[in-house]
Amino acid sequence: MYDVIVIGAGAAGLMAAGTAAMSGRSVLLIEKMEKAGRKIRITGKGRCNLTNARPAEEFLEKVRVNNEFFSVAFAEFNNRATIKFFERLGVKLEIERGERVFPKSGKAWDIANALVEFCEDKGVKIVYKTQVTEITTIGDKVTGVKYLNARGFERREEASHVIVATGGVSYPSTGSTGDGYDFAYSLGHNIEPVRPSLTPLVTSHPQKEYLNGLLLKNVGVKLYIDNELRQEEFGEMGFSERGIEGAVALRVSRDAVDAIIDEKRVKLVVDLKPALDEEVLLARIEREIAEMQPSEFFSELLRKLVPKQLVVPLAKEVDFHSKTYVSKLSDAEKMRLVKILKGMVFPIVDYAPFQYAIVTAGGVCCDEVNRYTMESLKIKGLYFAGEVLDIDANTGGYNMQIAFSTGRLAGQLKK
């Protein structure tokens, strides 16, 4: 019999287990994969953007849903506390553009390994390749879990506290397959419908095949839903066979996905020249043309303005033959080019599935969880932490911090 069983050795579960053990409790951490923190190890393109150093108010604005609920856990263990925590564990950190915090080594493994060492140091027993299949209860009280051990045999373990830290359903190959939603639902909890967030957006743009592999730095992106401007972002955007991705596209994806689900019309309008207004851009085009030979083609003008891969799609969009002579461009045609450079339209018709989504939106309804403890309001001794909860945020280190803050609070096992 243990005092505490934690299900899932991700960011939230490792933090919760180590924290619970700090107060002398016996803790069993059950992980179904062969090692802990598989998702942590691939975060931030292998570098792990573990938190964001912005002031609290700005930080909480980036949390897209239930940020008031989350603010209690954040006050208990905030971004500064996370930085201190890892530095104490010997991981040197650095703050980059946008206040994003990374390990100095550039290795996400250092974060995962530090968390495992933290747990081991505090005496947590970790078992791998072991899958919890049920949380057992008597009346409205937790009694333990049933699990399949590494040899596939069902066993039972008792505990007076169980912390569910099973994550969401994104990148299921890391072990996050939504088991926590089933546990919570079977114990009477409501689950806010889950959908992918921070996920590539699929466009029906007729030239999308030409764009695969293209990375645009410093573009402005506006998200329109039913022709209404909803969000404006600036930064990097890329195209792949999965869809439109890169930081700006991911940031607008949260609202875009919900709008697609609601069968609304969604489009991205991309400003390829955000530093120049229309007048200045027109003057730049006139200048380029003046410096060109009259016999040079429109495609050569485009080449001076945009990356090579955009030349054909842009020429088609402006509806000029790329072999049109620059000297033949009328004022109206130059203006059409300006308008398209300042607002290339990408209709969005779908989103990439969970397999490619950085986080899961939706999850265990926060209304049924005590925000001061993370304990279930329905079952005594049952706690939740991390992405399994209906809390998600933008890119920038916020989602890991959600896991750390809620994991820390749950691990304190407050009543």
Question: Phi/psi at 36 (nearest 5 deg)?
Answer: -85, 155
**CA triple 195-196-201, angle to 5 deg:** 125
Kindly calculate the radius of gyration of the chain based on its CA atoms and give it in whole angstroms: 25
* Smallest separation (angstroms) from ligand FAD to the CB of 47: 7
Minimum distance from CB of 390 to ligand FAD (Å)?
Answer: 12
The distance of closest approach from Cβ of residue 385 to ligand FAD in the complex, given in angstroms and rounded to an integer, is 7
The set of residues, in sequence order, having a beta carbon less than 8 Å from that of 239 and lying 6+ positions away, is: 208, 211, 212, 213, 214, 215, 245
Q: Of 12 and 259, which has the nearer Cβ to ligand FAD?
A: 12
114 is a site residue for ligand FAD (CB under 6 A): no
Of 380, 335, 366, 352, nearest to 256 (Cα)? 352
Binding positions for ligand FAD, 125-164, rule CB under 6 A = 131-132
Residue 358 interacting with ligand FAD (CB under 6 A): yes
Instruction: Give whichever of 166 and 299 is closer to ligand FAD, judged by the CB atom.
Output: 166
In the block, tokens 């045999």 appear at 153
Any contact of residue 403 with ligand FAD (CB under 6 A)? yes
The pattern of x and - marking residues 45 through 74 that bind ligand FAD according to CB under 6 A reads ---xx-------------------------
| Residue 9 makes contact with ligand FAD by CB under 6 A | yes
State yes or no: residue 363 binds ligand FAD (CB under 6 A).
no
CB proximity list for 139: less than 8 A, separation 6 or greater = none
Please identify, among the stretches 5-13, 69-77, 91-99, 111-119, the one whose residues bind ligand FAD according to the rule CB under 6 A: 5-13
Nearest to 8 by CA among 126, 185, 148: 126
Residue 39 interacts with ligand FAD (CB under 6 A)? Answer: yes
Q: Is 76 exposed, middle or buried (0-12, 13-18, 19+ CB in 10 A)?
A: middle
What tokens were used for 383?
């706690």
Q: Smallest distance, Å, CB 132 to ligand FAD?
A: 4
Other CB atoms within 10 A of residue 90 CB? 9
Name which position in 5, 6, 12, 260 contacts ligand FAD (CB under 6 A): 12
**Binds ligand FAD by CB under 6 A, chosen from 27, 165, 194, 216:** 165
Least distance from ligand FAD to the Cβ atom of residue 332, Å? 46
- Among residues 120, 116, 86, the alpha carbon closest in space to that of 104 is found at 86
Which 167-206 residues touch ligand FAD, going by CB under 6 A? 167, 170-171, 175-176, 179
With contacts defined by CB under 6 A, how many residues of the chain interact with ligand FAD? 38
Buried b / exposed e along 112-128 (16+ C-beta atoms within 10 A): bbbbbebbeebebebee
The reply to whether 11 sits near ligand FAD by the rule CB under 6 A is yes
- Chain residues that interact with ligand FAD, rule: CB under 6 A: 7-13, 30-33, 38-40, 42-44, 48-49, 131-132, 165-167, 170-171, 175-176, 179, 358-359, 386-387, 397-400, 403
